[in-house]
Amino acid sequence: MLLKGLSRNRLITISYYKAGLLKTCKGRIYNLDLCQQILSIKDEHQQVCCIRLSGIKEIR
């Protein structure tokens, strides 16, 4: 259910942990790789941010 909701083409904000620090990324879903458990988000500057699913704290 959650993964189906992520596949929509809408602007989202994700708070996640990377290297022990809480970071935030805002953009649209670019790719969802379930084998490697990585979510890729493309921001408004067309830069891709890769986030491990296990590090996600909150999705808004």
pLDDT of 9 higher than 90: no
User: Which residues have a Cβ under 8 Å from the Cβ of 6 and sit 6 or more positions away?
Assistant: 12, 29, 32, 39, 59
Confidence at residue 5, expressed as pLDDT on a 0 to 100 scale: 66
Q: Calculate the dihedral angle through the C-alpha atoms of 26, 3, 18, 12, rounding to the nearest 10 degrees.
A: 10
The model's pTM is 0.83
Helix (H) / strand (E) containing 55: none
Domain count along the chain: 1
Confidence at residue 10, expressed as pLDDT on a 0 to 100 scale: 85
pLDDT of 7 higher than 80: no
State the residue range of the domain holding 17: 2-59
